[in-house]
Amino acid sequence: MTTAPAEQQQSGGGLRRELNFWEAIALSIAIMAPTAAMALNGVGISNLIGRAVPLAFIFATVGVIFVSYAFVQLSKHFSSAGSVYAFSGVTLGPQAGFFAGWALFGTYLAFTAASTAEAGLFGVDFFKGSGIWNGAEWVVIALVAGVLIAFFAYNDVRKVTRALLTIEGISVTLIVILIVVIFAKLLFGSAPQNQGYTLDIFKVPHGTSLDTVATAAVFGFLSFAGFEGAAALGEETNNPRRNISRAIMFAVLVSGGFYILVIIAQTLGYGTDAAGVKAFSGSAGPFSDLSKLYVGGLLRDLINLGATVSAFASGLGTALAGSRILFALSRDGFESSPLGKASKRTGAPVGALAVVMTIAMTVMIIQRIIGTSAVNAFFYPGTIGVLSLLVAYMVTNLGAMKFLWLDGKRAPLWQIPIPLIGMAFLGYTIYKQVTGQTFPYNHFPWLVLGWLVIGLVVVFAAPGLARRLGAGLARREGLSTEPAQPAPEAAT
């Protein structure tokens, strides 16, 4: 694969290649938002399998490792702002590329709306808990977060990614302090209600079916949504074929280890007896409960603030990634479109960013107008986004199998089962997300299907668009639409 020189990319409204490994990984970590994820996601799993919540996250981490294989391998060959659009477009054809890109773009729109609402949710907890603002309104906080997201996303991406890594790093540090205190008090027998260490957290409670455990792992998997975010920085990262693949792999492994460690601390912190399981599964905020129980109100308030900032960082990350996917689709499919132009001053795709923020903020405001709570204003678009994301992941894994083994022997044959297992995991997750759901979640699959059908109609009803997309991939990204081994990358 060859890439355009940096100076060529910066002229004419192109993206700038200036990021390093840590700045690339920041986007994947920010979109997953480990702090915000662990502030909520363990509760639902505790409702399903009681004390064995850590087991679900271990299974989920293994599943994500299999799913991420395709992204790690493809990012070693291709680097594009379009992420799955390029991966699927080169391996399966421009129609499939547009479809995958359209699905992932829909995900990032939904996630941006969800994350801003989540910032409002945790912001209310912080302001009320600290006594700063007892009448805090989540939509006001969310709107402020949306304005700040737009402002930061327009600026130099290098500064933004550094800020994302710093923000999440501070939030994670606060959580590490809490879990160290929990583990220490458990070790020295000074836990508030005589909780202690036990291996019961790795044992499925009697009477719990395998299907229930698998369903719990699906919920754990949702905490990893967005691990592929770094791929959208393929045109802005130095040595992308090395750094992007490493960033995705690193994000999955580190986040998985963090999730497992935190969920063990949460489970043991509440206790594994019936009372502890009931407290965990009924909690409105595990970090708030455990901080107050083990340390005090100050750490609780700091962690709520950290979760607020983490949700903000997630929204900023999804806005960055979503704008770059729309930028790549517009640039290759409609050369004259303002959505395919980047600011010469900051390098940000300003038109595409405006579309992402306008749609996301509109969705969030409409939810508030119709009386949706902050919790549901997060979960509703978040669930919709995950459904669309799973489709994009599935297409990408199909493309990876074709590229790695059918079009050429680019990977060892013994690795063939890896994406197959990943696709089975994705298929089961999709099945669980579309069956047995209650209102309004039973309607969300139809909304996602409608969005995907629009993408299919657009690309198949306009043959010229597919040709332009294919030519654009080859011309602008240095990618071949033929199943040939990519050429060596030019020095950046």
Residue pLDDT tens, the chain, 492 long: 333 333 334 434 578 888 999 999 999 999 998 888 888 888 989 999 999 999 999 999 999 999 999 999 999 998 888 899 989 998 999 999 999 999 999 999 999 999 999 999 999 999 998 899 988 899 999 999 999 999 999 988 888 888 888 988 998 999 999 999 999 999 999 988 888 999 999 988 888 888 888 888 888 888 999 999 999 999 899 999 999 999 999 999 999 999 999 999 999 999 999 999 999 999 888 998 999 899 988 888 999 999 999 999 999 999 999 999 999 999 888 878 899 998 888 888 999 999 999 999 999 999 999 999 999 999 999 999 999 999 999 999 999 999 999 987 889 999 999 999 999 999 999 999 898 888 999 999 999 999 999 999 998 888 788 888 888 777 655 554 444 344 344 333
CA 54 to chain centre: 20
DSSP designation for 121: H
Give the pTM: 0.89
The string over 60-94, giving b where at least 16 C-beta atoms fall within 10 Å of a residue's C-beta and e elsewhere, is: bbebbbbbbbbbbbbbbbbbbbbbbbbbbbbbbbb
- At 339 the three-state DSSP class reads helix
Q: Can you tell me the distance from the alpha carbon of 279 to that of 49, in angstroms, rounded to the nearest whole number?
A: 14
- Concatenated DSSP letters of 219-231: HHHGGGTTGGGGG
User: How far apart, in whole angstroms, are the C-alpha atoms of residue 396 and residue 486?
Assistant: 18
Instruction: Indicate the length of the chain as a whole number.
Output: 492
Q: What are phi and psi of 77, to 5 degrees?
A: -110, -35
**Phi (first) and psi of residue 19, to 5 degrees:** -95, 150
- Hunting for tokens 């009320």 — which residue is that? 128
Alpha helices in 273-341 (DSSP H): 274-281, 286-294, 297-333
Q: Are 381 and 107 in contact (CB under 8 A)?
A: no
Tokens of 253: 């492994």
Q: Which residues of 283-304 are buried (b: 16+ CB within 10 A; e: fewer)?
A: bebbbbbbbbbbbeeebbbbbb
